[in-house]
Amino acid sequence: MKFIKHFSGYLLMVLLIYLLHKPFGQVPPLGRLFSPFEGFLQNAEPKMNSTDQEMNLEGVKEEVKVEYDANRVPHIFAQNEDDLYFTQGYIMAKDRIWQMEFYTLVASGRLTEVVGERALEYDRYNRRLGMARTAREIAKKLEKDPVSNRVLKSFTDGVNSYIKHLDYKNYPLEYKILGYGPKEWSPYKTILMLMNMRNTLNGGTDDFRITNVADQYGMETVKDLFPNYPVVESPTIPVGTPWNFDSKKVLPPSSIMVGNKENRFMANIPAPAPEIGSNNWAVGGGKSATGLPILANDPHLGLTLPSIWYQMQLTTPDMNVYGVALPGCPGIVIGFNKDVAWGVTNVGSDVMDFYQLEFNNAEKTHYFNNDKWLPVTKYIEEFKLKSGKIIRDTLMYTHHGPIVYNTSKETNYSKNAPAGHAMRWVGNISDGSDLMVFYYLNRAKSYDDYRKALTYYSAPAQNFIFASNQNDISITPNGKLPLKWQQQGKFLMDGSKPENDWQGYIPVEQNPTVKNPPRGFVSSANQFPADPTYPYYLGWKFAPSNRAVRINERLTAMKNATADSLRVLQNDNFNVAARRILPNLLPILESSNDPNIAVAREILQKWNLRNEADAVGATIYERWMRELGDWIWEDEFPVKSYMMHPTEDRTFEMIAKEPKSKWFDNKNTREKEETISDIIVGSFAATLDSLTMKNGPISAETWAWSKVKNTTIKHLVPAFASFSRTGVMNGGGKGEVNATSETHGPSWRMVVELDKNWPKAYGLYPGGQSGNPGSKYYDNMIDKWAAGKLDTLVYLKNANEKHPKLVKTLTIKPKK
């Protein structure tokens, strides 16, 4: 019996060891993950100690110093460019290697390799978009450019030096949980990072939805409800700016929309994400307290952990630049140096179009174009699943671009393309050298340097804002902007007609721009880049003008501006849309006898029109506008039927000036003809019912805007909810200058005061420097960010400067 007990215990131990080292489906072996010596406990990271360190690395030519400040921001001082970018790659990988690699897996359509078949349709979609193929083409071209090649090689060598010295014990936690490890870095992977941003910023379209509206209701309805320029607008380039060039003429064909709608497959297509945007502005010396420009920028992106950006200072004898880098990419994307500052916002121009094709047979070997049959180029792609299974897919290309969905029977991950159509997307162009625009901006000293740097940029189009200590300010919507006839790409187009092809690109020197305008400031908030006098067509739909209107109102009134003046404006929660529409809505609510409506109406009447964190009025208004839009438009333009609603701007204009419009009647209630009053009161009652069901009776606590909005900063892997931050208490909204919604918001706030001697700068982002959920520096900036505060940035003059915020020094020497 004693023997049996011992033997049974031995068998259980053996079984336990076996089970702990055996993977189960998508779950990696648990033994190593829970090991106290190399498992997840090793990822617990204490506060950064102040002990200086030295290390020797192969690949470094001369000694490099890295000074860390209290936020763990690295300040790199190198004696040559090669060592600078090598060290940037090494240090960045040390904090963000898992994030860097994850983004490359997304862009290249390879998530199935680490998370399994659940990601297959997402991977298929990204692979068919062509991002990996374009990245390879760009990487190959950059090998021939000596500057790009040198920078990319040095950065890549630095990343790989870190990976080479990384063992399982020190793997980022996500690698351990998902059961894989880092792979060798390459310039191709850096370009994939840029491709991922192209897709994020310019990977949406309304073409299919607006075409369906035209099919259903005719072009006159489209012209009326979906105009090419809004009623209220404050364009990026001020009205009245002269266009001092001879523009190219592009004439439209006889028909601007595809016919034969029977050949069109239904597909699930998203509109461009309304939360993807940004603010930037710069005031000239005439408006500032210092007599020199002040620049502010806050790009609005999906709020994620690890953070989208990584703060750094990069210094050589010829350059000293501070700002934020994109993990996986060399240089600084948004930042400043001794003489200049710059920032970017998304332009949002129409750079993704779709062409209906006629094929010669079921195998789709040829398509008809310009009176002849052209061959479809096909590529076989392999998806290697985590289980080891291999799935193959056929990618089809035309001269327009890829066919993202072949037939309507395919599982549509999403969203950006109607089935059976070819996609023309500026994101797939391999011209230009986007990294070089930042390389030269990092070194810029003047307005002329800024203009030269912009010539290297291609996509996605960005509003590059600029300020210098020579008292120049400027803004330029810049990038490869397709040369189109009016409304080209607003609808699906006939792919058989060559006149529907893009006619090239707007000459870069004719992109809209302004320098030192009379009003004393420049700004952008993703609104229309220019008014209708600009001779080129850039698109028909941009972000609503609410943020732009508020920014320009405040900057116009501003005198003796300081950095803090601009910080306050970045956090401005005033609701311009509510100011415009509530005077038309609230009087109509007085006709209701419902006591709940009376209480809520009084709250709105007393509301100061600011979306503050504790504002109940903001909650009622924001949810009401969502409901009101559906009540007016969903019966005629149902989203489930792949249509779109008219814009907020057009809707507000109709409520104010066309109250008897036929569109206010709900066609689904044939026994009654609704008036605008019926719609306003009914939608308001429905809003209150919905809020009460979710949050209980009206109260200052449960109906507070921050409580209902529930801003969440999610980990990149949705399943890792414990690594996210939920319930961030802040105000704002997607229509306010403080454009913080449920999942999107200012991913980096920066304000820079230029100076003849040394600039002062302030900044913060919602996260931390570390990508490790077990680190103090993973999310240590979030609360301060939510409160609207900024850190004073530690911009060092040299490696020997003694600054009270410096914590430790890392010295890197060549390995002998």
pLDDT in tens, 480-506: 999 999 999 999 999 999 999 999 999
Mean pLDDT value of segment 636-659: 94
Token digits of residue 354:
């779709």
**Top-confidence residue, 7 or 719:** 719
Tell me, what's the pLDDT at 411?
Answer: 53
25 Rama class: left (phi>0) / alpha (psi -120 to 50) / beta: left
**What CA dihedral angle connects 801, 806, 807 and 809, to 10 degrees?**
-40
Mean pLDDT value of segment 592-602: 97
User: Using 50, 70 and 90 to split pLDDT, how confident is the model at 80?
Assistant: very high
609, part of any domain:
yes
Residue 728 has pLDDT above 90, yes or no: yes
663, part of any domain:
yes
CATH value at residue 632: 1.10.1400
Backbone angles phi, psi at 601, to 5 degrees: -65, -40
**Top-confidence residue, 239 or 816:** 239
d(CA 490, CA 544): 18
Q: For residue 700, what are the domain limits? A: 576-709
- Of 731, 612, 736, 622, the C-alpha closest to 684 is 622
Tell me, what's the pLDDT at 49?
Answer: 79
Integer angstrom CA distances of residue 256 from 211, 477, 494, 495, 499: 11, 26, 9, 12, 10
Integer angstrom CA distances of residue 501 from 401, 489, 526: 11, 10, 26
pLDDT tens digits along 399-433: 999 998 776 556 555 444 677 899 999 999 987 68
How many CB atoms are located within 10 Å of the residue 30 CB?
16
pLDDT tens digits along 556-578: 999 999 999 999 999 999 999 99
User: Using 50, 70 and 90 to split pLDDT, how confident is the model at 222?
Assistant: very high
Which amino acid is located at 599 in the chain? V
Token digits of residue 155:
């950065």
Backbone angles phi, psi at 211, to 5 degrees: -65, -40
How much is the mean pLDDT over the chain? 92
pTM of the model: 0.93
Tell me, what's the pLDDT at 431?
Answer: 79
Tell me, what's the pLDDT at 641?
Answer: 78
Tell me, what's the pLDDT at 277?
Answer: 74
pLDDT tens digits along 121-139: 999 999 999 999 999 999 9
pLDDT tens digits along 321-369: 999 999 999 999 999 999 999 999 999 999 999 999 999 998 999 999 9
Tell me, what's the pLDDT at 557?
Answer: 98
Tell me, what's the pLDDT at 319?
Answer: 98
**What CA dihedral angle connects 681, 686, 687 and 688, to 10 degrees?**
90
How many CB atoms are located within 10 Å of the residue 369 CB?
22
Sequential DSSP letters for 738-787: S---SSEEES-EEEEE--SS--EEEEE-SS-S---TTBTTSSTTHHHHHT
How many CB atoms are located within 10 Å of the residue 608 CB?
11
Residues in Cβ contact with 303 at an 8 Å cutoff, skipping those fewer than 6 apart: 711, 712, 713, 714, 743, 744, 745, 747, 766
User: Using 50, 70 and 90 to split pLDDT, how confident is the model at 259?
Assistant: low
Residue 205 has pLDDT above 90, yes or no: no
Residues in Cβ contact with 302 at an 8 Å cutoff, skipping those fewer than 6 apart: 200, 275, 276, 308, 714, 743, 744, 747
703, part of any domain:
yes
600, part of any domain:
yes
d(CA 453, CA 462): 13
Mean pLDDT value of segment 42-71: 88
Backbone angles phi, psi at 420, to 5 degrees: 75, 10
Residue 380 has pLDDT above 70, yes or no: yes
Residues in Cβ contact with 222 at an 8 Å cutoff, skipping those fewer than 6 apart: 210, 213, 214
Tell me, what's the pLDDT at 8?
Answer: 55
Tell me, what's the pLDDT at 433?
Answer: 84
632, part of any domain:
yes
Tell me, what's the pLDDT at 36?
Answer: 43
Q: How many domains does the chain have?
A: 1
Structural contact between residues 768 and 777, judged by C-beta atoms closer than 8 angstroms: yes
Residue with tokens 């704002």: 732
Residue 117 has pLDDT above 80, yes or no: yes
Tell me, what's the pLDDT at 41?
Answer: 44
Work out the percent of the chain whose per-residue pLDDT is above 90.
85
Structural contact between residues 784 and 791, judged by C-beta atoms closer than 8 angstroms: yes
Diameter over CA atoms, the chain: 100
742, part of any domain:
no
User: Using 50, 70 and 90 to split pLDDT, how confident is the model at 18?
Assistant: very low
15, part of any domain:
no
Tell me, what's the pLDDT at 419?
Answer: 79
**Top-confidence residue, 262 or 282:** 282
pLDDT tens digits along 739-794: 999 999 999 999 999 999 999 999 999 999 999 999 999 999 999 999 999 999 99
Mean pLDDT value of segment 438-460: 97
Contacts from 797-805 at CB under 8 Å and sequence distance 24+? 797/320, 797/758, 798/77, 798/315, 799/65, 799/67, 799/77, 799/315, 803/69, 805/69, 805/70
